Chain A
Amino acid sequence: MKDRTLTDELRLLVSRYGLDKVDVELQRLVARQPTTVTRSKPKPNGDVSRKARRPRARVKAPEYVAKMDIEGDRIATLLALAERFEAKSFLPRCADIRNFCHIHGIDEPASKSRAGAIPRLFKHLAAMDPNDIQRLLDENAFSGPAELGPLADAIREHGRAARGPNAVREASATFREPPLPQDEAGVS
């Protein structure tokens, strides 16, 4: 937790010098940086070991599942999930995989790629209660960040059905950003 330490150290500085002084000094430091700020160490050129490695054929999730030793009744659901994984409608991004592991109490896969996570993910899924796997499938769960457009449409649709054309107003207030404080909203 590098950021944690940074926060603690900053807190220390702020308590010693006051927020304003620390802020001014930071601004000064930032201003002195060359325009292209190097955020992290550059990768060494010519990484021989990587180049020498032969590209491995990527195993697709359905192929992986097909080779697993699973009882007949759950293979179909698992294959369907694997298809969705390939189509990126189940755990579409690495962050979704991380969250899935987090929620299911399994270690995050060491691999940074989706493909690399397949073995750990599908081993865990295969061991899950068949009803729970089926539910993942039925409810189209873990399909990534919500799309706000279709959600707003669905609410509007439901609103029209439930209470007529004026229903839309409240729906549009969902996921609103906090309003700007007066002094920043152009009132000076």
Chain B
Amino acid sequence: MTSEPIISTNDLNLWYHDTHALQSISMTISKNQVTALIGPSGCGKSTLLRCFNRLNDLIDCVKIRGEILLDNENIHAAGTDVVMLRKKVGMVFQKPNPFPKSVYENVAYGPRVHGIKNKGELDSIVEQSLRDAALWDEVRDRLHDSALGLSGGQQQRLCIARTLAVEPKVILMDEPCSALDPIATAKIEKLIDALKQDYTVIIVTHNMQQAARVSNYTGFMYLGKLIEFGQTNQIFENPREDLTENYITGRFG
């Protein structure tokens, strides 16, 4: 598996006030691969994920040191367009959070914000995004119904479609299946596998089997540090660090 890097962090540190939430994280995310972040609650997975599209900027007390490169460009460089950054690096959250609008409007929203006005063009983006999110067949006849009428799993795929509509390079997913049943979860996992054709996916999950199933690389975090990072089969079959071993075999705490 040879793969070129798309994101890399170099000695990345983050504080919330005095809480040193990320401690000297250096890692490389490979393009068109799925990378999973695992670790006990509070270890900094969501915080790290939010660094990649600067969502932490929205939190007042945050201080960040160190480097994050996206396609070799420092995302904290002066003059970085944060709106463009978030277009390139999209995010799907734990709880499906569709806008209280129609299915169509949910997906068309992003492209509109980025200046696409033409109805035909929007129609085709909406259809393609919904197809890519494996949702089209289920909603093609109810595009103008409220998105809130969809099932949880459908809402989550709608949120993925919404992310895809602005043609990101990287998709961040923070526990995208934790509110879903096993069937909806299986659909999202299948989708993640398909997405890596065109996108790079970074997923946070508490479900170790899920991380093992969907990802190519896995990072194990503990108390703000990246303890081990490697190919997923190596991490789950033969981890190098005792901490990783203890965590994934449930011998923790």
Are the chains A and B members of one assembly? Answer: no
Chain B residues engaging chain A, CB cutoff 8 angstroms: none
Chain A residues engaging chain B, CB cutoff 8 angstroms: none
